[in-house]
Chains A and B, each alone.
Chain A
Amino acid sequence: ETGVTQSPTHLIKTRGQQVTLRCSSQSGHNTVSWYQQALGQGPQFIFQYYREEENGRGNFPPRFSGLQFPNYSSELNVNALELDDSALYLCASSESSGGARAGELFFGEGSRLTVL
């Protein structure tokens, strides 16, 4: 069974640039969530995708956007990068949205973004 994989693991960008982060879901999972984890803080929910549609969103501006593909892999795009976007971005997959498996997220190791 293949776990959640994310790429790239580390990247450096400058203010105003755009970034795309990628995530491959665990086999059999059709739901993907993205979280932002700033240094010394817990992860914050960005959004979730289920069957290629955004299923819910946290308190993040529209310059944070995403995609989910038919194979359930996903992308997180961030436009007009700001210094405060520097963080570890975590992707998590799950079997479905809600029900008995609610909250049972399988996380990747994350993509560490540094904005200079």
Chain B
Amino acid sequence: AQSVTQPDIHITVSEGASLELRCNYSYGATPYLFWYVQSPGQGLQLLLKYFSGDTLVQGIKGFEAEFKRSQSSFNLRKPSVHWSDAAEYFCAVAPRSNDYKLSFGAGTTVTVRA
């Protein structure tokens, strides 16, 4: 069965520090991979996606993610967080055969302290 795991439920980071959010997936073949962010009072917003090619993907708001096939992981990183990065982050996958059907992880809540 396919699944998406985000091991960290909650992460607290200081403003200006680096951030890494973990995502592991279980799939028969390499799926399409996504990171979405959900801020309070706002809808989910796509940060970045991986389809193929370069395994380091750049996204919006200074985020990047690295696909590692051997580890079935797609971790999200940001070198220096801003207070506005406080939000809930979701990793999602979609099978290449049904690429509209996203499966989301349970999310990681990020708190940024001054």
A residues with CB within 8 A of B: 3-4, 31, 33, 35, 40-45, 48, 55-56, 58, 90, 92, 94, 97-98, 100, 102-110
| Residues of B in contact, count (CB < 8 Å) | 25
A-B contact pairs, 18 of them (CB 8 A): A42-B4, A42-B90, A42-B107, A43-B90, A43-B102, A43-B104, A45-B103, A48-B101, A56-B98, A94-B100, A97-B99, A102-B32, A102-B51, A103-B34, A103-B49, A104-B49, A105-B44, A105-B46
B70 located at the interface, meaning its Cβ lies under 8 Å from any Cβ of chain A in the complex = no
Cα(A110)–Cα(B42), bound, Å: 9
B residues in contact (CB < 8 Å) with A? 4, 32, 34, 36, 41-46, 49, 51, 90, 92, 94, 98-107
Q: Considering the chains assembled together, what is the distance between the CA atoms of A42 and B44 in angstroms?
A: 11
Whether B100 and A55, one on each chain, are in contact in the complex, defined by CB atoms closer than 8 angstroms, is: yes
CB of A6 to closest CB in B, whole Å: 9
Query: Which of B4, B44, B90, B105 counts the most A-chain CB atoms under 10 A from its CB?
Result: B44
Q: A43-B44, A109-B43 are in contact. Are A103 and B94 (CB under 8 A)?
A: yes
User: Which residues of B sit under 8 angstroms from A56, Cβ to Cβ?
Assistant: 98, 100-101
Is A33 in contact with B104, judged by CB distance below 8 angstroms?
Answer: no
Known: A42-B90, A102-B94. A97 touches B100 (CB 8 A): yes
A55 to B99, CA, bound (A): 12
How far does the alpha carbon of A16 sit from the alpha carbon of B105 in the complex, in Å? 30
The answer to whether A90 and B94 touch across the interface, beta carbons within 8 angstroms, is: no
Contacts of A108 in B (CB 8 A): 43
Residues of B close to A58: CB separation below 8 A: 101
Complex CA–CA separation, A89 to B4 (angstroms) = 20
Chain A's nearest CB lies how many Å from the CB of B106? Answer: 5
On chain B, the residues within 8 Å of A105 by CB distance are 44, 46, 102
Contact B106 A103 (CB under 8 A): no
